[in-house]
Amino acid sequence: MNSVDNLLKRLEQLNDIGASLSREMDITRLLERILLAAKTITNADGGTLYRMLEDGQTLRFEILRTDSLNIAMGGTSGSSISFPNLPLRDENGAPNDSLVAAYAAIHLKTVNIADAYTEPNFDFSGTRHFDERTGYRSQSFLAVPMKNHEGEVIGVLQLINARLPGTDQVVPFSAADQSLAESLASQAAIALNNRLLMTQLEELFESFISLINLAIDEKSPYTGGHCQRVPALTMLLADAAAATTEGPLASFTMNERDRYELKIAGLLHDCGKVTTPVHVVDKGTKLQTIFDRIHLVDTRFEVLKRDAELYALRQQLSLRPCVNPQAEAALTVAAQAQVDALNADRDFLRTANVGGEAMSEAAFQRVRKIGSGLVWRNVEGVETEFLTADEMQNLTIRAGTLTLAERDTINHHIVATIKMLEQLPWPKHLKRVPEFAGGHHERMDGTGYPKGLTRDQMSVQARVMGIADIFEALTASDRPYKPGMKLSQAISIMKKFKTNGHIDPDLFDIFLKSGVYKRYAEQFLNPDQIDEVTL
């Protein structure tokens, strides 16, 4: 092959390499591709790629390859690089021009050396020591600075020992080699810089998400953990679903972009809670608003008890001098019986205020009887029913601690979430975030909210998030209104949800069979919550 044909072939290689670099999303693999491509296009035996640290004054070994010594360090090799970083300046602040890679970075110039052992301008003592240990002969060097769009050095590409094509004979890097390496370094710098900029934007975006979750966390210590645990469980189940090779979900797959999109949706799934009043989010008892109003009820009981005692004393005084000890004793007994009854009613209301899975009809009626049957004299001296209408409504909540109005307020957070997320100009690879995040309260039978979607109208990812949201809520131990359930109890409830059309049955089967629930429990649940589960 003549030199013209060889050059054309190498130019074609350069174009192909540039196209492949622009498609690589992972920075580590991108750096590795850059070095391997440079070695290939210049027929170099070895090479090193350095990254500039954020201080702009230090080069770090990132990837190192030497074919003839079978050395592969850094990148995807699995072998770390132990060499120290290269400072661009010495301890006195003077340029570190004795090192080839540092010189190229400092002066933004390519350095092409025919033979390191006869080169008088650079310090190759470290290279000689390496050669003595390994029996290698480092000869020709080519160090090319990699600059970003602002002209700043972001790395250095250093190649060692160019070889004649088809032989092991080491020769100097030719002018064509240098030109091609510089072109490749320029393309590689653009690709690397673009990837770094994208990574920085992703980190900035995720920081904003963390900021939103922090705001929710600051409003309520009971939701901050939820905002972190649901995404983790979502990814565990989604990965298990993508890994399955049989059943209805065998065709479901996710690439890295799909995983990132779902991760972002998980982190944002409750962002609308920033609009929910904190006293509703944190409502730990039925009478709680800014404070627990059960203490006001306690005060009224104390007033009634005092009234009973005062009435008895007044009656006793009216009998003075004591002419009827039996009557006085009867009054005392009657007053004590009234106080005992009031204490029993007070204790009952305290229990009813806590809430729970379900309130019995007898308990419901007793609250109403106390509320309207007892009468107390308020601060204005007016006799009134013992419980206000609002207190009666709250204390007769059938399950949990929220009234219908408060539940609607809580449920509105998903509407707010969707509205907030749909306002953002999502890039193409994140377009489905609002749908994933906004569907975790829908049900498979269409009775969920806010849109009443059915299973067929929902993506697999949204259905995954629905299971994750429910399971986390059942097992969470940081809620103000309940302790965290044991694993077996939560799974039992989830099984009922599977049969009644609440959650996706196929995904729930994977949730159990793949052991996702176990891995989540080991990571996030208290040890005393983890018990034996019968599948």
Query: Could you tell me the CA-to-CA distances from 296 to 303, 346, 512 in Å, in that order?
Result: 11, 11, 47
- Whole-angstrom Cα distance, residue 513 to residue 509? 6
pLDDT in tens, 274-292: 666 655 555 556 665 655 6
pLDDT for the residue numbered 10: 58
pLDDT for the residue numbered 323: 75
Beta carbons within 10 angstroms of residue 256's beta carbon:
10
Domain ranges of the chain: 3-198, 220-276+406-529, 294-401
pLDDT in tens, 5-64: 555 565 565 556 555 656 656 777 877 888 888 898 899 999 999 989 988 899 999 999
DSSP 35-103: HHHHHHHHTEEEEEEEEE-TTSSEEEEEEEEETTTTEEEETTSS----PPPEESB-TTS-B-TTSHHHH
- Do 3-198 and 220-276+406-529 fold alike per CATH? no
- Residue range 161-172: average pLDDT? 91
Beta carbons within 10 angstroms of residue 100's beta carbon:
24
DSSP 347-411: HHHHHHHH--S---HHHHHHHHHHHHH-EEE-TTS-EEESS-HHHHHHHT-SSSS--HHHHHHHH
Which amino acid would we find at residue 501? G
Q: What is the CATH number of domain 3-198?
A: 3.30.450.40
pLDDT for the residue numbered 22: 60
pLDDT band at residue 97 using 50, 70 and 90 as cut-offs: very high
So what CATH class is 220-276+406-529?
Answer: mainly alpha
